[in-house]
Amino acid sequence: MDSTRIFKALFFCIFLSSYSIGALAEQKRTSFILAESPRGEVSVAGSIVVDNLFHKTQLSLNESDTKNSIQTLSRYYTLAKENDKAKLRKLSYVKDGSYSWMSRELNNIPDKFEGFAKLRKADATHKLFWGDYELFIVDWFTEAPQKVMSWYEAVICAENSQCHISNLLLNGKTSSSIFSSVLTDVYAKPLKKVPNLPYSVSYRPKPISDSNQNALVFNFEVEWLNEPLNFNADKKSKLQDKNVQFTHLESFLRELWAVRGDTVKRIVKEKTYKTSLDAHWLDFSTRNLIPVIDPRLGYSLSNYTPVAYLDRLSKIDEVKVEGVLHARNEMYVIITASLLNQQQLVIITLDRKTKKLKQTPNNFKLQEIVNSPEFYRKMASIVNKRA
């Protein structure tokens, strides 16, 4: 091989190496604060993969191609502005249900995209990754110089170099709701130094992704009791000074156990029982649903009426308080309970200041995570390994 060919081959290898390094550098896992303890220490940190080199990009409102994610996003806004329903359907991804969703939306709301005629400009300001999806934060402008609002969009370019728009963040899945709720925290609450938190739970886009590629990850810490706190209907716990924080929890469960069964549904409306609710709950309301994870049903999430929730708690036979996940205004108490002839994980929220049971949290994002199937599975696994 002559020197010219050697030089060309070497140059080509260097070029490929530089290109690979550059491509990898575009994707960076970035951490953010989700919850802090009262001492100001990070107790829950999230991380999302972002495009480190992405700059604000004005979308074309006259785009005809869909070879990459930006073109596809531009094409979507072009069709929305033109109110071209047939092509909007065709642009929607089939495999994750987006096509069916778009068809239903357009059938149920024929004028869904008519307002886009007023759109003057759309800027993609940030790009993130989740599974095979590329997510964008998009600012909308009409005639006013200030943006009207920001919106989140999802694009997938997984097959045959063809890209499609997706309703990923609107599909009603718990994981999508959690991702949407923390999407801007990566920029608003960044962590320069990530704390060493021992546990992690991952969230993947559903229904089509089983890979942990570009997962949304939360790292967290639990303060475990040196000795679990045990009590049941017949046996009180040995509350030590440091465990008086669970007094309201134990007292309320005891009063609940005293009226097991159908009586709970009746007595919850009686004045005497309302006194007990006021004594041990910060904000009990019969109007707000309470999320419940049932391991017997594959850790599925259900929303119980408050009376049904109390009825469920009344069926607990024995409680073992294992530890606490701390937030600034809440304490998430990790409990192993004998419930319906099965050992189950139960997580109950206490107000940090009063130590009373709490229905409505200050940190809704953390509450949604704690009450997700993924978190329950992870926490149950951790508790079982500690047993």
With a pLDDT cut of 90, the percent of the chain lying above it is 68
- Would you call 2 helix, strand, or coil by DSSP? coil
- Would you call 258 helix, strand, or coil by DSSP? coil
Higher per-residue confidence, 5 vs 357: 357
User: What does the pLDDT average to over 27-33?
Assistant: 95
Query: Of 115-124, 137-146, 198-207, where does the model show the most confidence?
Result: 115-124
Residue 147, number of CB atoms within 10 A of its CB: 15
pLDDT computed for residue 162 by the predictor = 86
Residue 339, token pair as written in the block: 């419930």
Least confident of 169-178, 255-264, 295-304: 255-264
pLDDT computed for residue 21 by the predictor = 34
User: What does the pLDDT average to over 15-26?
Assistant: 40
pLDDT band of residue 286 (cuts 50, 70, 90) is confident
Least confident of 76-90, 226-240, 335-349: 226-240
Over the stretch 236-262, which tens digit does the pLDDT of each residue have?
877 655 578 999 999 999 888 887 766
pLDDT computed for residue 290 by the predictor = 93
- Would you call 208 helix, strand, or coil by DSSP? coil
Instruction: Using the predicted structure, report yes or no on whether residue 8 has a pLDDT greater than 80.
Output: no
How far, CA to CA in Å, does 91 sit from each of 66, 117, 328, 380? 9, 19, 44, 41
Q: At what angle do helices 373-386 and 174-182 cross, to 10 degrees?
A: 100
Q: What span, in angstroms and rounded, lies between the C-alpha atoms of 169 and 205?
A: 9
pLDDT computed for residue 242 by the predictor = 57
User: What does the pLDDT average to over 264-290?
Assistant: 78
pLDDT computed for residue 238 by the predictor = 73
User: What does the pLDDT average to over 119-134?
Assistant: 96
Instruction: Using the predicted structure, report yes or no on whether residue 98 has a pLDDT greater than 90.
Output: yes
**Domains of the chain listed by start with CATH number:** 50-220 (3.10.450.50), 223-386 (no CATH)
**φ, ψ dihedrals at 321, nearest 5°:** -80, 120
Pick left, alpha or beta for residue 170 (phi over 0 → left; psi -120 to 50 → alpha; otherwise beta).
Answer: alpha
pLDDT computed for residue 158 by the predictor = 76
pLDDT computed for residue 192 by the predictor = 87
Instruction: Using the predicted structure, report yes or no on whether residue 358 has a pLDDT greater than 70.
Output: yes
Over the stretch 213-224, which tens digit does the pLDDT of each residue have?
899 999 999 999
pLDDT computed for residue 363 by the predictor = 95
Residues 6+ apart with CB under 8 A from 383: 322, 334, 336, 345
Q: What span, in angstroms and rounded, lies between the C-alpha atoms of 49 and 30?
A: 6
Residue 250, token pair as written in the block: 């134990």
Residues 6+ apart with CB under 8 A from 107: none
Instruction: Using the predicted structure, report yes or no on whether residue 209 has a pLDDT greater than 90.
Output: no
CA dihedral 68, 74, 80, 86 (to 10 degrees): -30
Q: What span, in angstroms and rounded, lies between the C-alpha atoms of 190 and 29?
A: 11
pLDDT computed for residue 322 by the predictor = 96
Nearest alpha-carbon partner for 331 in 373, 287, 377, 282: 282
How far, CA to CA in Å, does 363 sit from each of 18, 152, 282, 327? 44, 22, 15, 8
Q: What span, in angstroms and rounded, lies between the C-alpha atoms of 92 and 99?
A: 5
Q: What span, in angstroms and rounded, lies between the C-alpha atoms of 367 and 370?
A: 5
pLDDT band of residue 119 (cuts 50, 70, 90) is very high
203 close to 215: Cβ distance less than 8 angstroms: yes
Q: What value does the mean pLDDT of the chain take?
A: 88
pLDDT band of residue 233 (cuts 50, 70, 90) is confident
> Tokens 């003057």 — which residue?
120
User: What does the pLDDT average to over 107-125?
Assistant: 96
Would you give the distance in Å from CA 216 to the centre of its chain? 8
pLDDT computed for residue 7 by the predictor = 39
pLDDT computed for residue 52 by the predictor = 92
User: What does the pLDDT average to over 45-64?
Assistant: 96
pLDDT computed for residue 330 by the predictor = 97
